[in-house]
Structures are given as structure tokens and as C-alpha cells.
A and B are shown apart, each in its own frame.
Chain A
Amino acid sequence: NAGVTQTPKFRVLKTGQSMTLLCAQDMNHEYMYWYRQDPGMGLRLIHYSVGEGTTAKGEVPDGYNVSRLKKQNFLLGLESAAPSQTSVYFCASSYGGPTQQYFGPGTRLTVT
């Protein structure tokens, strides 16, 4: 099993450009999450999904959109990138409830 995979691993964008980050999991998990990791801030939840076709806002959703058209995939979109969105983005999945979350390897995004 590959677990949780993320595409791409690195990306550099210019302000105003758009992009989509792809997260895929092969563990048949219902729940999926997108976090951003910033120095001194820990991991902060951007959006999450409790099942195919559902999405919800997390702690820091502004500037991001998500979609969960298939159970195994969770997409994170930036419509108009800003330098404040420079970060490392992690996707995770779980069975839900107070259970272990499984993380992807991360995507390092730089917005200039």
C-alpha cells in the first residue's frame, strides 16, 4: 500500500497564479484533511472532508477551496496565490473519530 500520497512535492508560484494539490489515499478512509505547516505555528487545519462529496472549513480556510469527488482523492486549490500561502501543505486521512491520522509526505509551496 502506498498510504497517503501528495502531488506535487514542490511548486513555485507567482502571486495571482492558481494551482491544485492532489492527495490520494488507498486505505479506504472516510475522513481526509488538509493542513498547512508554518514555523512556530504548528499544523493548522485548512479544510476537511468526512466522506465522498462532502467538505468543510477548518481553522484557516480563506484563500483555499477543496473538492472530494472520489473517496480516495482530496484536492486543495489555490485560485489566486498570495505570498502568505507560502508553506508546507500536508494531507492526512483517517477512519474518523479519535483515531490515528496518516499523513502524506507534504508539498512545499513557495509564492513569490
Chain B
Amino acid sequence: AQRVTQPEKLLSVFKGAPVELKCNYSYSGSPELFWYVQYSRQRLQLLLRHISRESIKGFTADLNKGETSFHLKKPFAQEEDSAMYYCALHPGAGGTSYGKLTFGQGTILTVHP
């Protein structure tokens, strides 16, 4: 069974500082990894997925299969980045996973002015 671990429940940084939200996973196959974000009083929404290799709102994440990690990074944090961030894993295309995601515990990011 797959597992996703976000070791930091809370992360605080100052505006303009770099930020890295950690995500580690355990899965024997070739998973697809996602970052979802939940801003205050808003619904959970997709931030980015590793397969698209995009930069969204200045955030990037690289899948490191050797270290089984998918850390989320941003070089200069903004106050509007304050939110709850979830890392999520899908077992990959094919099989009978039915689109089910395994979520990490979440990290609350606070960016101070």
C-alpha cells in the first residue's frame, strides 16, 4: 500500500524568503504526484502535478524517484501563499486504482509580512 508523509504540520516563513514544503512517499511502482492547496475559506484545488512539469504561482516540484520525494518549492514566498498544502499520490496509469488519491497529513504554511 502507498503512503504519503508530510513531516511538517506547520511552516512559517517571512515574505520574500524561500520556502520548501516536504513530501515523501512510499510506493513500489511509478506513481503520479500532486500538490493540492486550500486557501482560507476556499475549497481544495490542484496546484500542480509532476507530470506537467509546470510552475504555478511561482511554485515548482520535482519528483525524485531515488529519494521518493516530491518537495514543493518557491524562491520568494508571498503573504497570499499562506494556506494548507497537501501532497497526494496516485499509483499511476492503468491498474484498478480508480483515480483514488492518497493524501499526506498536510502542511499549514504561514507567510509573515
Q: Could you tell me how many residues of chain A have their Cβ less than 8 Å away from some Cβ of chain B?
A: 28
- Report if B43 contacts A (CB, 8 A): yes
Contact of B104 among A42, A100, A103 (CB under 8 A): A42
Report yes or no: A100 in contact with B98, Cβ–Cβ below 8 A.
no
Q: Which residues of A contact B103 (CB under 8 A)?
A: 35, 42-44
The closest CB in chain B to the CB of A100 belongs to: B46
Q: Contacts A97-B93, A100-B49 given: A42-B106 contact, CB under 8 Å?
A: yes
Contact of A94 among B86, B99, B105 (CB under 8 A): B99
Report yes or no: A31 in contact with B46, Cβ–Cβ below 8 A.
no
- Report if A83 contacts B (CB, 8 A): no
The closest CB in chain A to the CB of B105 belongs to: A42
Q: Which residues of A contact B6 (CB under 8 A)?
A: 42
Min C-beta distance of B86 to chain A, whole Å: 6
Contact of B99 among A4, A41, A43, A96 (CB under 8 A): A96
How many residues of B sit at the interface, in one of the four size bands?
Answer: 20 to 34
The closest CB in chain A to the CB of B46 belongs to: A100
Report yes or no: A99 in contact with B99, Cβ–Cβ below 8 A.
yes
Q: Which residues of A contact B86 (CB under 8 A)?
A: 42-43
Report how far A94 CA is from B99 CA in the complex, Å: 8
- Report if B81 contacts A (CB, 8 A): no
Q: Which residues of B contact A48 (CB under 8 A)?
A: 98-100
Min C-beta distance of B75 to chain A, whole Å: 25
Q: What residues make up the interface of A, taking CB atoms closer than 8 Å to B?
A: 4, 31, 33, 35, 40-45, 48, 50, 56, 58, 90, 92, 94-101, 103-106
Q: What residues make up the interface of B, taking CB atoms closer than 8 Å to A?
A: 4, 6, 9, 32, 34, 43-46, 49, 51, 86, 90-93, 97-101, 103-106
- 10 A-B pairs (CB sep. < 8 Å): A4-B43, A31-B99, A42-B86, A43-B103, A48-B99, A48-B100, A90-B43, A100-B46, A103-B45, A104-B43
